[in-house]
């Protein structure tokens, strides 16, 4: 133990824990006439109305029996009332469970039982599901109905009441208590390709620190003024997914105009973008693709729209398409376990003098770690690898806003936190300027002859073959080399491809030094379709087992 000099103990009267309620202190001061707009039902609230509604909601929740340490689940689209839950639930000392409404019904039940939800706020659209499974929900004591209809529909199960009616009848003030900043504020479930969803959780302290770091990061780069007093924010990442990347907390602390779009339909999103003059959004690549390719998008001027992409890799093609439409596109890196922000694109001061191709290459990178994030890459023995842009290793992080484990999963938690670092499961390289490039998932990287080869790198090269449509590369066991790469490909209509064609095509990249010769797949199998998981990702596990079974 260090013999440092300590300030007086934290239980003194002037202790000031980091609590979510403090993020509201500046909201009203900065907000002015800014509103919080609901695309779900057209409601618009000033910040003082919003804050009063947070107080009313706290009274509704405690009236409904919610106590400190209880868990309140929400099943809703992206709405201002969801934002009210982001604040009121943790501010009374309860835990907010943001239920992933896209899970299969049995998984929704699993997560709600696993999180031990006490009270459930549920939208009309999900009430039939909940009514059907309610006997399987072991801990739930009551339901509150959320509706967007002018006339509240008859609910298919017994409810305490409808949200707006309950708020209207509640007292306008609630005395939010102080408590330990390590109190859990939120929980939600991350889904893998196998097994049950795993619960991650974040404390008040972690969310406040994440908010401050995000606020500092999003406006310190001259060329990336993502969140400014003049910004209008609309999330297009669901609020149940890592609190919409934590941006609603930042936007509220800064008193920004916020637009919550309800369900994600291209027409609604585009209409809100235009009428509310949205300047900043964040989403996964497929959503941006969907929005841009919709018929209505053709007539819209997107110039000045800043979009932060995360969740999966931003391709150069989509980045270029976005830039050509005037969209300022950036990449962020993070995951459910990391609250989520770890790194973002970093544009140099002379970025406006770069060609569009150079811009694209910069913007698809996962960028530099934000302040307070300690990020390293390690080899299989846990040794730190150099930051030379070449060495590939698992990305491990330390920073004050990481989930401290998986809920009730001590073994998986220990694996996640092996040797005091959080293991992301991603493989990347870091260059001397500390720019991270994610190269693969660790379970997909191919370990051959003591070297790691990125399956994505091989796929990117193979896919440039004019006759090949899509490819997936996996590692299979090999007695001599440990593992060797094998490819499955789909070919363009009428074309024919065999291994020799792929080998000779790849040889040129080997000659250029773009890839090592041991990265050339041992086999290339032409298939009609690349297997995919239920959420549309390439199913490498299935490909591996199919190839092994011959």
Site for a copy of itself in 134-173 (CB under 8 A): none
399 binds a copy of itself (CB under 8 A): yes
Q: Which of 121, 184, 283, 543 forms a contact with a copy of itself (CB under 8 A)?
A: 184
25 binds a copy of itself (CB under 8 A): yes
Reported as type and span, the H/E element at residue 203 is strand 198-203
The answer to whether 449 touches 517, Cβ cutoff 8 Å, is no
Nearer to a copy of itself, 14 or 42 (CB): 14
State the Cα–Cα distance between residues 184 and 411, nearest whole angstrom.
20
- As a three-state string, the secondary structure of 160-180 is CEEHHHHHHCCCCCCCCCCCC
14 binds a copy of itself (CB under 8 A): yes
Reported as type and span, the H/E element at residue 122 is strand 119-123
389 binds a copy of itself (CB under 8 A): no
Q: How far is the CB of 1 from a copy of itself (least distance, A)?
A: 8
> What residues between 102 and 141 interact with a copy of itself by CB under 8 A?
none
278 binds a copy of itself (CB under 8 A): no
State the Cα–Cα distance between residues 389 and 189, nearest whole angstrom.
33
Q: Catalytic: which of 245, 346, 421, 452? A: 452
Of 78-86, 213-221, 461-469, 542-550: span binding a copy of itself (CB under 8 A): 213-221
Quick check: is 452 catalytic? yes
Q: Which of 128, 153, 177, 477 forms a contact with a copy of itself (CB under 8 A)?
A: 177
Q: How far is the CB of 84 from a copy of itself (least distance, A)?
A: 20
State the Cα–Cα distance between residues 252 and 469, nearest whole angstrom.
45
3-state DSSP assignment of residue 97 = strand
Q: What are phi and psi of 452, to 5 degrees?
A: -100, 130
What are the angstrom distances between the C-alpha of 203 and each of 93, 180, 209? Answer: 11, 9, 10
Quick check: is 447 catalytic? yes
Q: CA dihedral in degrees (421, 423, 427, 432; nearest 10)?
A: -20
186 binds a copy of itself (CB under 8 A): no
> What residues between 229 and 248 interact with a copy of itself by CB under 8 A?
229-230
Helix residue spans in 390-445 (DSSP H): 410-416
Nearer to a copy of itself, 343 or 454 (CB): 343
Q: Catalytic: which of 62, 152, 190, 533? A: 190
4 binds a copy of itself (CB under 8 A): yes
> What residues between 348 and 377 interact with a copy of itself by CB under 8 A?
348-349, 368-374
Quick check: is 141 catalytic? no
Q: Catalytic: which of 447, 469, 483, 516? A: 447
Radius of gyration of the chain (CA): 25
Quick check: is 435 catalytic? no
What is the sign of the dihedral through the CA atoms of 298, 304, 308 and 312?
A: positive
> What residues between 420 and 479 interact with a copy of itself by CB under 8 A?
420, 422, 433-434
| CA 288 distance to own-chain centroid | 15
The answer to whether 421 touches 398, Cβ cutoff 8 Å, is yes
Q: Catalytic: which of 337, 338, 435, 459? A: 337
> What residues between 40 and 99 interact with a copy of itself by CB under 8 A?
67-69, 93, 95
Query: How many of the chain's residues bind a copy of itself (CB under 8 A)?
Result: 73
Q: Which two tokens stand for residue 332?
A: 């962020």
- Catalytic positions are 190, 337, 447, 452
């Amino acid at each position: 133990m260090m013999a440092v000099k300590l300030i007086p103990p934290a239980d003194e009267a002037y202790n000031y824990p980091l609590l979510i309620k403090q993020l509201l202190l500046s909201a009203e001061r900065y907000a002015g006439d800014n509103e919080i707009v609901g695309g779900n039902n057209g409601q618009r609230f000033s910040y003082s109305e919003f804050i009063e509604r947070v107080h009313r909601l706290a009274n509704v929740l405690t009236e409904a029996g919610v106590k400190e340490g209880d868990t309140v689940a929400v099943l809703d689209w992206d709405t201002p009332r969801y934002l009210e839950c982001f604040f009121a639930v943790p501010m009374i000392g309860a835990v907010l469970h943001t239920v992933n409404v896209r899970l299969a019904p049995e998984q929704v039940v699993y997560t709600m039982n696993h999180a031990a939800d006490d009270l459930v706020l549920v939208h009309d659209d999900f009430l039939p599901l909940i009514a059907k499974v309610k006997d399987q929900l072991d801990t739930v004591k009551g339901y509150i109905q959320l509706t967007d209809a002018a006339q509240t529909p008859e609910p298919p199960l017994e409810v305490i009441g409808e949200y707006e009616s309950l708020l209207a009848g509640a007292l306008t003030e609630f005395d939010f208590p102080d408590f330990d900043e390590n109190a859990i504020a939120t929980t939600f479930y991350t889904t893998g390709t196998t097994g049950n969803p795993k619960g991650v959780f974040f404390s008040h302290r972690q969310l406040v620190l994440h908010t401050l770091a995000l606020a500092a990061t999003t406006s310190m780069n001259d060329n990336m003024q993502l969140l400014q007093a003049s910004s209008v924010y609309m999330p297009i990442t669901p609020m149940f997914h890592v609190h919409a990347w934590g941006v609603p907390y930042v936007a509220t602390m800064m008193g920004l105009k916020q637009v919550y779009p309800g369900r994600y339909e291209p027409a609604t999103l585009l209409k809100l973008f235009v009428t509310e003059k949205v300047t900043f959004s964040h989403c996964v690549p497929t959503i941006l693709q969907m929005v841009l390719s919709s018929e209505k998008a053709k007539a819209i001027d997107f110039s000045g729209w800043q979009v932060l992409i995360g969740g999966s890799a931003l391709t150069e093609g989509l980045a270029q398409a976005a830039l050509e439409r005037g969209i300022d596109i950036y990449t962020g890196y993070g995951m459910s376990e990391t609250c989520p922000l770890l790194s973002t694109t970093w544009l140099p001061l002379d970025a406006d003098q770069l060609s569009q191709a150079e811009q694209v290459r910069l913007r698809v990178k996962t960028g530099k770690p934000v302040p307070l994030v300690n990020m390293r890459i390690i080899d299989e023995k846990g040794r730190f690898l150099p930051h030379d842009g070449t060495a590939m290793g698992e990305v491990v992080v330390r920073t004050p806003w990481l989930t401290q484990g998986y809920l009730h999963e001590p073994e998986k938690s220990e694996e996640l936190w092996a040797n005091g670092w959080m293991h992301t499961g991603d493989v990347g390289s870091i260059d001397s300027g500390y720019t991270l490039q994610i190269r693969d998932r660790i379970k997909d990287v191919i370990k051959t002859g003591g070297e790691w080869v990125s399956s994505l790198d091989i796929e990117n090269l193979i896919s440039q073959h004019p006759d090949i449509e899509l490819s997936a590369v996996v590692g299979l066991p090999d007695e001599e080399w440990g593992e060797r790469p094998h490819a499955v490909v789909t070919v363009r209509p009428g074309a024919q491809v065999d291994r020799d064609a792929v080998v000779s095509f790849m040889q040129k990249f080997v000659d250029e030094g773009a890839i090592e010769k041991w990265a050339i797949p041992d086999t290339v199998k032409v298939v009609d379709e690349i297997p995919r998981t239920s959420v549309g990702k390439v199913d490498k596990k299935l490909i591996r087992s199919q190839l092994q079974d011959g």
